[in-house]
Amino acid sequence: MDSFKNQPAPQQEAKLHFLDYWRIIRIRKAIIITVFLITAIIATAVTFILPESYASTCRIKVEGEGADIPSMSSGPSSVMSPYDPFFIQTTFEIIQSQVVLSNVINQLNLNVEWGKKYNNGETLKSTETMEVLKRRMVLQPVRNTKLISITVYSEDKYEAAKLANTIATAYQDYRLSSRKELTVGGLNVLEEQFKDSEASIEKSQTNVDYLRGKLGIVDNDPNEMMPTPTLSQQMVQTYDQQMIDGERTYKMLQTQLDELKGYDNEKLRDVLPTITSDEQLSDLLGKLNVAQQTYATYTNDYSAADLHITRVQSTITELKHEIDLRVIGIMRALESEVKSKQAAVEALKASVEEAKLSDQQEQERGQPYWDEKRHLENLEEFNKQLAAKIEATKIDLSIPASSLVTITDFGQPGDVPVKPEHRLGSDFRFDHGCGPGVFH
């Protein structure tokens, strides 16, 4: 417990340190005040010695690639460019690039003019001038807009405005010339392809004409891309249906004939009238029926040896013979009809197969010609599309694209310098030029 009581308190130790510092300050106060006054005097002197610098700001609106009106080749959607998160930064780099700033240097003859000012009259190199120009230039985006501020500083307020406006104009010219150069380059490629396409069409047409004569192709329809078949699809379907129907009829008659062949003459006399209509057979069967009825009547009145009965029996025998002959004739007629149906079906099949084979052979024989003709049609179609693309590109080339870069505010000479600041205080004033506000 006593050991803790003997330890000094932290607050007392800190107080002792502060007193030590304050004691040192009191002892060295003369030196400190002297250093402060010297620093203030030097800073004030440097501020008044430094040359005055004016600022001028030119604002431009930048858009993605596109024309002032929708292009013919891309349609209305070409006006709406997709969002590019790197577009503004890319634009900054291009504005500060050699292709843009070199034009500014050449237009304003900065190598000579700045050589007179800053290099004892000796002409500056373009790289040296460009570095000086970059250090004098500040690029800033305007928040939530497509605007970019180009601010340039110079000892000459008129030079600052001229530099800012020339940089904006040079970037505008670069965008327009780049778009035109790309379009013209693409147009040249399309025209070269069009020439090659014309030569390919001429060569293919020569091959088509040669093959037509060599293979003896008859082709009177320029739109036909294959030989005209002997049987159209509709005809093939009709013949197929006819073959199905003929086959069905033939099989039905063949089955019926096979069944009839299994009957004897007595059975055939009863069955044939129900199958086929034959007047002669019907007449003979009617006479036989009458004779048999007469015979039955006579047997009741006469004896078996009576002349009436023998005559009727003779008539019945003769009628049966004639009926058998007629049945044989009908059976032969049925057999002939079955064979005829079979022959018709087979002939139709052979005819269709022959036509199909002929069409196939004709197709194979003329295949080189039809292939070359289809190739020629594809070349001509591509040639039409290419010609339309060329015309659309020419129209697109003539459409102005001034909206790519629009100068919304030209830089104006500033009324007061923005650097260095000679006064400090709460009051302030704005540059009356297009440059940024300057606090004083």
- Taking the C-alpha atoms of residue 50 and residue 227, their distance in angstroms, rounded to an integer, is 94
3-state DSSP call for residue 346?
helix
pLDDT value of position 96 = 93
pLDDT value of position 429 = 34
pLDDT value of position 48 = 60
pLDDT value of position 424 = 44
- Taking the C-alpha atoms of residue 141 and residue 88, their distance in angstroms, rounded to an integer, is 8
Q: Which residue has the tokens 């890319």?
A: 90
Dihedral (C-alpha) 371, 373, 378, 384: value to the nearest 10 degrees?
Answer: 170
Q: pLDDT class for 163, splitting at 50, 70, 90?
A: very high
Mean pLDDT computed over 215-237:
75
pLDDT value of position 140 = 93
pLDDT value of position 249 = 84
pLDDT value of position 431 = 37
Q: Which residue has the tokens 């509709």?
A: 234
Share the mean pLDDT of the chain: 79
Q: pLDDT class for 402, splitting at 50, 70, 90?
A: low
Cβ contacts of residue 410 below 8 Å, gap of 6+?
Answer: 58, 161, 165, 168, 434
Mean pLDDT computed over 389-395:
84
- Taking the C-alpha atoms of residue 353 and residue 368, their distance in angstroms, rounded to an integer, is 24
pLDDT value of position 47 = 57
Dihedral (C-alpha) 336, 340, 346, 348: value to the nearest 10 degrees?
Answer: 180
CB 271 within 8 A of CB 279: no
Tokens of 436: 């940024």
Q: pLDDT class for 242, splitting at 50, 70, 90?
A: confident
The pLDDT of residue 89 is above 50 = yes
The pLDDT of residue 88 is above 60 = yes
pLDDT value of position 98 = 93
Dihedral (C-alpha) 30, 31, 33, 39: value to the nearest 10 degrees?
Answer: 160
- Taking the C-alpha atoms of residue 114 and residue 136, their distance in angstroms, rounded to an integer, is 13
Mean pLDDT computed over 174-196:
87
Own/partner contacts of 419-426, CB < 8 Å, gap of 24 or more, are 419/50, 419/52, 419/53, 419/55, 419/153, 420/47, 420/48, 420/50, 420/52, 420/53, 421/47, 422/47, 422/48
- Taking the C-alpha atoms of residue 159 and residue 157, their distance in angstroms, rounded to an integer, is 5
- Taking the C-alpha atoms of residue 66 and residue 109, their distance in angstroms, rounded to an integer, is 33
Render 56-108 in DSSP notation, one character per residue: EEEEEEE--S--SS-BTTTBGGGGSPPP-TTHHHHHHHHHTSHHHHHHHHHHH
Among 352, 135, 133, 165, which residue's Cα sits nearest to residue 247? 352
Q: pLDDT class for 78, splitting at 50, 70, 90?
A: very low
Highest mean pLDDT among 122-126, 224-228, 329-333: 122-126
pLDDT value of position 11 = 53
Tens of pLDDT, residue by residue over 35-51, are 777 887 776 665 565 56
End-to-end CA gap in the chain: 65
pLDDT value of position 410 = 93
Mean pLDDT computed over 146-174:
92
**Edge-to-edge strand order for the sheet containing 405-409?**
137-141, 147-154, 54-62, 405-409
The pLDDT of residue 160 is above 70 = yes
Count of CA atoms in the C-beta half-sphere (13 A) of 388: 9
Sign of the alpha-carbon dihedral angle for 206, 208, 210, 212: negative
Give the least confident one: 5-19, 76-90, 222-236, 366-380: 5-19
- Taking the C-alpha atoms of residue 424 and residue 397, their distance in angstroms, rounded to an integer, is 56
The pLDDT of residue 165 is above 80 = yes
pTM for the model: 0.53
**How much of the chain exceeds pLDDT 70, in percent?**
83
Give the least confident one: 11-25, 88-102, 337-351: 11-25
Measure the CA angle with vertex 78, ends 72 and 81; round to 5°.
165
pLDDT value of position 418 = 78
Tokens of 82: 């997709």
**How much of the chain exceeds pLDDT 90, in percent?**
20
The pLDDT of residue 425 is above 60 = no
295 or 84, which is more confident: 295
Give the least confident one: 2-6, 15-19, 52-56: 2-6
pLDDT value of position 103 = 93
How many other CB atoms are there within 10 angstroms of residue 275's CB atom? Answer: 14
The residues facing 438 across adjacent strands are 429
The pLDDT of residue 125 is above 80 = yes
Among 87, 52, 80, which residue's Cα sits nearest to residue 66? 80
Q: pLDDT class for 230, splitting at 50, 70, 90?
A: low
The residues facing 409 across adjacent strands are 59
The pLDDT of residue 171 is above 90 = yes
- Taking the C-alpha atoms of residue 348 and residue 66, their distance in angstroms, rounded to an integer, is 69
The pLDDT of residue 193 is above 80 = yes
3-state DSSP call for residue 408?
strand
- Taking the C-alpha atoms of residue 94 and residue 92, their distance in angstroms, rounded to an integer, is 5
Mean pLDDT computed over 135-149:
91
